[in-house]
Amino acid sequence: MKKISLLAVVMLLLCTSCCEPIKPTPQPPKQNETPTPPPVVTPSKPENGWKTKVVVINASDYTKWVYLNFAKGELVEVTNPETDLSWDLGLHRYDFKTNGGTSGKGKGAAVRITKQKVITEDIPTPKDSEWTLDREGLLLMQFTNEGGGVHQSKYEKQMANFCLSSECDGYGDFLNKGIIRQEGMPPEVSIDNAIYLIRSASGDIVRLRVHDYRKFENEREMRGYITLEYAIKQENNK
């Protein structure tokens, strides 16, 4: 009887161990191989009298300009930019124009700020001689990458602000460096994170910084989507 009892106990232990559920081996979390642009936080309240906005502008089409109204924070339809006062900043890929100089009949102009890093802090108003007005210059208006190191480019004379934009030399290089800089082949893009002051069509001073030149969709990088942060004096945008 003792031998039978011992055998029964051993069999019971074996069955119990066999019936325990198998725990899955924990897997390390999958890493996102596609880089995502850092989030841009917009203050919910005005700081020092300045109200900030963040907008993402689709300026990816090489063949056309799009036009931003600072007060509305949105694009406006413009047929004749030289006479239309509804727009403040024009965008074309990595190029910019203001509503002034040869680009429009407004009071637009631009200047780069070298010392101040906080967009809502005190920034002295530049002298009239320090502002850059729009003029005619050469821009890249068509680019097609055919693969294998072969591409097609087309340059055209355009009105733009060359404090904000990089002017092409017509041979794949640039005469100056604007906010968004493109160099080499394949093109490597970099951003100047300085604050720029923009005079709107009405002459109000708007502070602007560019955060990104692309967006990501279905793990694919799409260039020409410009993330702008800008600040408007509160009394100018009630």
- pLDDT tens, position by position, 111-134: 999 888 899 999 999 999 999 999
Reported confidence tier of residue 5, pLDDT bands at 50, 70, 90 = low
Q: Which residues contact 69 (CB under 8 A, 6 or more apart)?
A: 75, 76, 86, 87, 88
State phi, psi for 195 to the nearest 5 degrees: -85, 135
Give Cα 135 distance to the centre of its chain.
24
Residue 83 has pLDDT above 70, yes or no: yes
Residue 24 has pLDDT above 90, yes or no: no
d(CA 74, CA 200): 14
For residue 15, is pLDDT > 50?
no
- How many whole angstroms separate alpha carbon 48 and alpha carbon 201? 23
Query: pTM of the prediction?
Result: 0.77
Mean pLDDT, range 84-95, rounded to an integer: 97
Residue 192 in tokens? 């100047």
Tens digit of each residue's pLDDT (9 = 90 or more) over 159-211? 999 999 999 998 888 999 999 988 777 778 999 999 999 999 999 999 999 99
pLDDT tier, 47 (very low <50, low <70, confident <90, very high otherwise): confident
How far is residue 103's CA from residue 100's CA, in Å, rounded to a whole number?
5
87 contacts: CB under 8 Å, gap ≥ 6 = 67, 68, 69, 76, 78, 81, 99, 104, 201
